[in-house]
Amino acid sequence: MSWTKEEEAKLRKVVKDSGVELLKENLVQGTWGNMAQRLDKEWMLVTPTGLDYEALTPEDMPVVNIADPSVWKDGKKPTSERKIHAYLMLNRPEINATIHSHPYYGSIFASARKELPEAAMTEEEKKLLGGSVRVGAYGLPGTKKLKEGTVKAMEGRNACFMANHGVFCAGRDMEEAFEIIRCLERVCKRYIEQLTVKAAGAKEYSDELLFDYFIKKCGK
């Protein structure tokens, strides 16, 4: 073990607090989503499967082997999607924190299976996200197909959509991973508003405009 108990306790709290923050900022729904935090080259902390973020304790986080995520110890049963987190940490040593979540606007893109183009971003946003946000191929939770689709969509990127399954973000630490998911949600919202205004031939956006346009297009 190359980390101290004090360091581990601190990172366990980071994961716990991050889960609560996801809920507070409406970046996740219920117990959906999962996170991981690197401990060293070999091990990472992940969130357990199916537990409420507010009820979760730092001690509940299992320690998972990065090279072989079927191997884990301590805490509760780890998320079934730990293989995605592990693969990215194994192959991208600059990544130390990862978030899979279901934010409102990002999930719209994931469900529509639409890429978010660079043209929708400022230079700062483009740098943070790593470029256009691609869509990973659809796969059921915990499956090889979902892992491979997400990994491919994340090549050279810090964020991607998971078809019909939310978003995935990665950063040098949990703070940066949060900055990335916030940025992604902000850009998704803004782009949806811009597209709605353009399609409806309106001067400004409102939720009523989006609703009315949707009913007009899809209610025929």
Rounded alpha-carbon distances, angstroms, from residue 57 to 14, 32, 64, 197: 11, 17, 17, 44
Q: Give the domain extent around 146.
A: 5-181
Tens digits of residue pLDDT in 39-56: 999 999 999 988 788 889
3-state helix, strand, coil in the chain (%, to 5): 45, 15, 40
Residue 75: closest CA among 9, 28, 142: 9
pTM of the entire structure?
Answer: 0.93
Strands 43-46 and 97-101: unpaired
Q: For residue 205, is it within any domain?
A: no
Residue type, 42: E
Q: For residue 81, is it within any domain?
A: yes
Residue 220, pLDDT score: 56
Residue 219, pLDDT score: 64
Q: For residue 117, is it within any domain?
A: yes
Residue 9, pLDDT score: 96
Residue 61, pLDDT score: 96
Q: For residue 46, is it within any domain?
A: yes
| CATH number of the domain that residue 45 is part of | 3.40.225.10
Q: For residue 186, is it within any domain?
A: no
Q: For residue 210, is it within any domain?
A: no
Query: If DSSP codes are grouped into helix, strand and coil, which group holds residue 180?
Result: helix
Query: If DSSP codes are grouped into helix, strand and coil, which group holds residue 83?
Result: helix
pLDDT < 70 positions in the chain:
1, 31, 219-220
CA 83 to centroid of chain Cα atoms: 14
Q: For residue 159, is it within any domain?
A: yes
Q: For residue 108, is it within any domain?
A: yes
Strands 135-136 and 97-101: unpaired
| Structural domains of the chain, count | 1
